[in-house]
Structure 1
Amino acid sequence: MTKLRVSVFDCRCGDVIARDVISDKGLILAAENLVLNDFIISKLKTIGITSVWIFKDSSRTYRYYEKKEKMVAGYKETVLSVKQVFNKIAAGKRFEYKEIKRIAESIYNNLDGIDIIIQYLNQLKGYDDYTYSHSVNVGFYSMLIGRRLHMQDSKLIDLIQAGVLHDIGKMKIDNELLNKRGKLTDEEFETIKTHSYLGFEILNGSSHFGINIKNAVLMHHERIDGSGYPTGAKDEGIGEYAKIVAIADVYDAMTSDRPYKKRVTPFEAFDMFLTTGLSTFDTSVLHTFLVNFSTHLVGAKVQLDTGEVGEIVYIPPHEIINPIIRVGSTFLKITRNESPQIVSFV
């Protein structure tokens, strides 16, 4: 897409930043792909930014509503396709590589509608077909990270496959155990943990899946400090795909309703990543995810614990757990342990 350098005074709501806007001190003020609104434009003017790079003809106001219905329908079809593939595995049948590749390509084709999909996922309620939707979501989030790491298209398709297939080993585990409400016993948890190796074994029987995909399925629960499973591998012993899928997996799990646990908001997930997550996840991959993913939450409607509904108008890249919310004509900065707090996305 063509990029243009324009005066901040010529920016319009809906324009999309094409290059990171950097302060004199090297801080990112507005990340690439951020959709501009009146608050952000005013802020850039106030701090002395004179020009920015935007994508030509990038205003998304009309395109959002035009695309949303089509993309949501496509997402649901992809979840159904994953369910069909996984059910074949659960029944002891073989599945065709071309089915997985088609699913990966379907997810890849949503690159130009990232905001639509992310906001839809934030609004989803319930946990029907969680295993299958989770697999699609992890493929989607993995793609988002890989894209910002400047992976080639062919590698992105492989990475999406790794994300979609990361939990395929769970098809060999009793569904009643997978959906158990309440705390697992130590023995039950050890059984759950075998899904990584079971998934690797399923893929290892096919020559179509590269070693990076197979290792991501095997190692997506490994952590850089050695606290993960199944092998306790550390930093350099964990492949790039596995490091990416690990972050996508945990983020989606935390922000989804599950049979045994309610979802948290994206900002609560960010908080975890920026505290305990710094010692367990690859920090370079994590930073790429957090800074770039957070820009796609701008414009979302949120329910506050005061009962009010507001709109996210800005997320400071260096304070991503403290979004700026507009409620009517008032702007509020959300801070930890102080009211108001975001309860949910609407």
Structure 2
Amino acid sequence: MKEIALRSLKIGMCISSDIFNDLGNIILAKGTEITDRHLDYFTSHNIDHMFVEDQFGNLYESVSPRIEADDKFRNINAHYAQVLNQFKQIYFQAQNADALQVNIDLVEKELEPLIDELLHDNDILGSLRLVSFRESYHFTHAVNVCMLGAMLGKWLNLDRNTIQSIALAGLLHDIGKTQILDALLNKVGPLTLEEKEILKTHSKLGYEMLKSNPEISKDVLAAILFHHERSDGSGYPSGIKEDQTPYLARIIGVVDVFDAVTSDRVYKTGISTFQAFSVLKDESFKGLDPAISEVFLSNIASHFINNRVRLSNGESGEVVYVNRYALNRPLVKLNNGRFVDLSTDYSLDIDTVIK
């Protein structure tokens, strides 16, 4: 780690510590790679020094932002495709099996490059927006939860082996749905009480299918079994409370909800990331681990500075400030130069993040 002046900062360098504003809010997270828009932002906010990674005693060489973006696009899609294809093979195998033997060494080998890419870049939502696969939700949801879980593990300062376990649990957390009819999984209308109870069996079904695999750790199996448990006892399959729910299961629970509500499905369109913040806040009061949720949301929010968004009235603008007490309602500078503070103006919402 090395402290340098803004004039020495180059595109492609990596920030080695969080950058805060005067109010104590994170405006750029540790691990972010510098782009040209960051340089403009630092200049306009009088940030003149920062810490950057200094591996092997040398600063990173300057990289063209276009080349950097193209490389990131290719890398994320290539690694995502490898994990996606691996999961699809497991999924189709599971549809015809009561017990499932998974080559964990092979799965983890496929996961490593994707996890490395994420942990190096830190901007998980930016990475997910680069993914260009049109696949069934059941496939992409598994990989997305795997990626989100790994990144959350980093933000929670967990070690690499634990992050690897979270990623594996995320990939396999819904494998029990292979034992439930597609007609029910994709049903457009409201579910009956009986259908809801059938769907709730998927976590236990997944655990039962995988528990005979000696290579899958007990922590991973517990995360698969208990990721729908809630701290108030309203979850399933056992109705246990937060102090009884395994830590990895609570991590998967947070990212599972986040990806589920922001993803498009055959019967609904996903909500915006900012709207998902409200959902997670509400769910934290009901049963998601509030400490884990707060770490997840605050780190996600730190990457929205300088992102372009579209508001519910159709206007577009740039996020210029994120209020730590209202993470989902930032200050937006519109294209016409006008500022809209969503933390005080509740007549508008953010519909989508443009970039």
Range of TM-score over shorter length: 0.7 to 0.9
Q: Which amino acid aligns with 2:3?
A: R
Q: Report the secondary structure of 2:178's partner residue.
A: helix
CA shift digits 1:123-168 (9 cap, x unpaired)? 7799741101100000100001101122211111111001111001
Q: Which amino acid aligns with 1:175?
A: D
* 2: CA distance, partners of 1:325 / 1:15: 27
Q: CA 1:121/1:21 → structure 2, altered by over 3 Å: closer, same or farther?
A: closer
Name the counterpart of 2:250.
243
Q: CA 1:24/1:94 → structure 2, altered by over 3 Å: closer, same or farther?
A: closer
Name the counterpart of 1:345.
353
2:111 to 99, 104, 107: 104
* Alignment length (residue pairs): 339
Q: CA 1:59/1:180 → structure 2, altered by over 3 Å: closer, same or farther?
A: farther
* 1: CA distance, partners of 2:346 / 2:265: 27
CA shift digits 1:74-108 (9 cap, x unpaired)? 32332222111111111226432233223332431
Name the counterpart of 2:73.
68
CA shift digits 1:181-202 (9 cap, x unpaired)? 1211100010000001001111
User: Contact (CA 8 Å) 1:30, 1:317: kept in 2 or not?
Assistant: no
Q: Tell me: higher relative CO, structure 1 or 2? Use CA pairs within 8 A at least 6 residues apart.
A: 1
User: Contact (CA 8 Å) 1:193, 1:229: kept in 2 or not?
Assistant: yes
User: Contact (CA 8 Å) 1:32, 1:292: kept in 2 or not?
Assistant: no
* 2: CA distance, partners of 1:213 / 1:157: 10
Q: CA 1:148/1:126 → structure 2, altered by over 3 Å: closer, same or farther?
A: closer
TM-score (norm 2): 0.84
* 2: CA distance, partners of 1:126 / 1:28: 32
1:166 to 156, 166, 173: 173
Q: CA 1:342/1:50 → structure 2, altered by over 3 Å: closer, same or farther?
A: same
1:332 equivalent to 2:339? Answer yes
Name the counterpart of 2:56.
none
TM-score (norm 1): 0.86
1:77 equivalent to 2:73? Answer no
Alignment of 1:245-324 (within 5 A): 245-324=252-331
User: Contact (CA 8 Å) 1:119, 1:300: kept in 2 or not?
Assistant: no
* 1: CA distance, partners of 2:193 / 2:200: 11
1:5 to 3, 14, 27: 3
**Identity fraction in percent:** 29
User: Contact (CA 8 Å) 1:221, 1:228: kept in 2 or not?
Assistant: yes
Q: Which amino acid aligns with 1:20?
A: D
The structural deviation recorded for 1:175 is 1.2
Name the counterpart of 2:196.
189
The structural deviation recorded for 1:21 is 3.5
User: Contact (CA 8 Å) 2:19, 2:28: kept in 1 or not?
Assistant: yes
Name the counterpart of 1:202.
209
* 2: CA distance, partners of 1:127 / 1:67: 19
The structural deviation recorded for 1:260 is 2.2
Q: CA 1:195/1:279 → structure 2, altered by over 3 Å: closer, same or farther?
A: same
Q: CA 1:54/1:332 → structure 2, altered by over 3 Å: closer, same or farther?
A: farther
CA shift digits 1:197-232 (9 cap, x unpaired)? 001111111111111100000000011121111111
User: Contact (CA 8 Å) 1:169, 1:196: kept in 2 or not?
Assistant: yes
1:90 equivalent to 2:95? Answer yes
1:38 to 16, 37, 40: 40
Name the counterpart of 2:52.
54
The structural deviation recorded for 1:293 is 1.9
Q: Report the secondary structure of 2:327's partner residue.
A: coil
The structural deviation recorded for 1:315 is 2.9
Q: Report the secondary structure of 2:326's partner residue.
A: coil
Q: CA 1:171/1:278 → structure 2, altered by over 3 Å: closer, same or farther?
A: same
* 2: CA distance, partners of 1:73 / 1:294: 26
User: Contact (CA 8 Å) 2:27, 2:303: kept in 1 or not?
Assistant: no
User: Contact (CA 8 Å) 1:222, 1:233: kept in 2 or not?
Assistant: yes
* 2: CA distance, partners of 1:200 / 1:339: 45
**Greater CA drift, 103-112 or 214-223:** 103-112
Name the counterpart of 1:177.
184
Q: Which amino acid aligns with 1:81?
A: Q
Structure 1 unmatched ranges of 5 or more? none
